[in-house]
Amino acid sequence: MGSDVFQSGIKAGRLAAESYAEHFSDLHPRLDPHEALVAADRCYFCHDAPCITACPTDIDIPLFIRQIATGTPDAAAKTILSQNIMGGMCARVCPTETLCEEVCVREAAEGKPVLIGQLQRYATDHLQEQGIHPFSRAAVTGKTVAVVGAGPAGLSCAHRLAMLGHDVVVMDARAKPGGLNEFGIAAYKTPGGFAQAEVDWLLKIGGIEMRYETALGRDVTLAQLRDEYDAVFLGMGLGGVNALGAEGEDKDGVRDAVDFIADLRQATDVADVPIGRDVVVIGGGMTAVDAAVQAKLLGALNVTLVYRRGRDRMNASVFEQDLAASKGVRIVTHAVPKAVHGNGAVREIEFEYVDGNMKGTGQSLRIPADHVFRAIGQRLVDGDLPELAQRKIKVDAQGRTSVEGVWAGGDCASGGDDLTVTAVAEGRDAAMDIHAKLTG
């Protein structure tokens, strides 16, 4: 992309090189051994720990923290990874402030929880950096399973199935694995190629074949998979992005936030990614915050995040909202997009203020913009799923779909929250149900 000006105000390389290095360094650097021991010592090691219940993957948090406190971080990592094989990534991106740390007894008593997320990262990094894979395969069963999607749900499912002795073929539409972890999470949360390193480490279990640039509906059908494999797991995420529904949203400079984030994650040099002088992000979730913060870190002068409801209704946590504000992002609430103005390219976007019932007030707001990013939710792309096609794939508690021999999990399924940690849990649990089905 270089530093070419794509349109007035949009260009790359706005900042000095050292600024990019500083802005896109690790958001939460890993604890050193002394810091980890001090942090672990604050845990009460509760017998009936509320943090375990709050964790979507049911990690025994007091146990792994005690193992860190006693100087055995690799044992702590195995405790974590036995429940959450992507515990390293989840330690970086999981909203612990609204899950395990929010219910921590220390948080209730002192307003300062045990640093569960950072302690989890300390343990998993310690093990993975040694190249150690603490699990081995069971005897081969002769059963084969197709997994569609190499994101958190698909990889979690594949690892557990391989560990139980099944042969797994993972197919993904992209040219590399990782899914959301690789393409959809802010660059400052996972610098240094961690997402790919974690996938490489996970595949050391063996028994997993990866097939890239293989899309359901384009390169293979669900009927074919059901004929060729003993079971199928669908974990391809949500490929489509909802439209704004505003006049003029097809103008140059209006993009999907997920594409912008993916460009940053795949860029050899983030300085080569062009950004506008005036940026508007529409949405209230983690993707919206990630896009807004990264626009600011790339050198945008004015960044405004606009959400249709109040801040208390935003899917992004209070921590994420405060992070955006601390980076200079302005947050405007109770406003919906009405029109994108400009001659070919966006120059301004018009909003109407709404009340608590989403009814227009007649008051409008115009914000200058040469870049507008949509982050208003994603939708399932019907990749040959005529029997399953809904807003999401309907599944039961075990991840079973209405089609015999087909399971689903992660963002594409109607399970829990659209979080990496939830996707991992759903992939793992579906694998256990598939295993039970295949082995009688």
pLDDT 10s digits, 283-333: 999 999 999 999 999 999 999 999 999 999 999 999 999 999 999 999 999
Residue type, 193: G
Of how many residues is the chain composed? 440
* CATH architecture designation of domain 33-128: Orthogonal Bundle (1.10)
Shortest CA distance to 173 belongs to which of 231, 224, 237? 237
Class of domain 144-238+385-438: alpha beta
Which is nearest to 233 in space by CA: 27, 31, 399?
Answer: 399
Longest dimension (CA), the chain: 68
Kindly tell me if the per-residue pLDDT of 171 is higher than 70. yes
β pairing state of 302-306 and 371-374: unpaired
Residue 141, both tokens:
């069963």
pTM: 0.93
- Please list the residues that pair with 282 across neighbouring strands: 306, 374
Burial of 390 (0-12, 13-18, 19+ CB in 10 A): exposed
pLDDT tens per residue across span 276-294: 999 999 999 999 999 999 9
pLDDT surpasses 50 at 4: no
Closest CA to 360 of 334, 340, 384: 334
Contact 142, 87 (CB under 8 A): no
The candidate with the shortest Cα–Cα distance to 238, out of 397, 374, 377, is 377
Average of per-residue pLDDT values in the chain: 93
CATH 1.10.1060.10-classified regions of the chain: 33-128
Tokens matching residue 217: 């509906």
Identify the pLDDT of residue 390: 59
pLDDT band at 5 (very low <50, low <70, confident <90, very high): very low
Percent of the chain scoring above 90 in pLDDT: 85
- Evaluate whether 431 touches 164 at the Cβ level (below 8 Å): yes
Give the confidence band of 440 by pLDDT, cuts at 50, 70, 90: confident
What is 241-377's CATH superfamily?
Answer: FAD/NAD(P)-binding domain (3.50.50.60)
193-220 b/e with 16+ CB inside 10 Å = b?
ebbeebbebbbebebbebeeebbbeeeb
What is the location of CATH 3.50.50.60 in the chain?
144-238+385-438, 241-377
The residue type of 162 is A
Supply the pLDDT for residue 6. 46
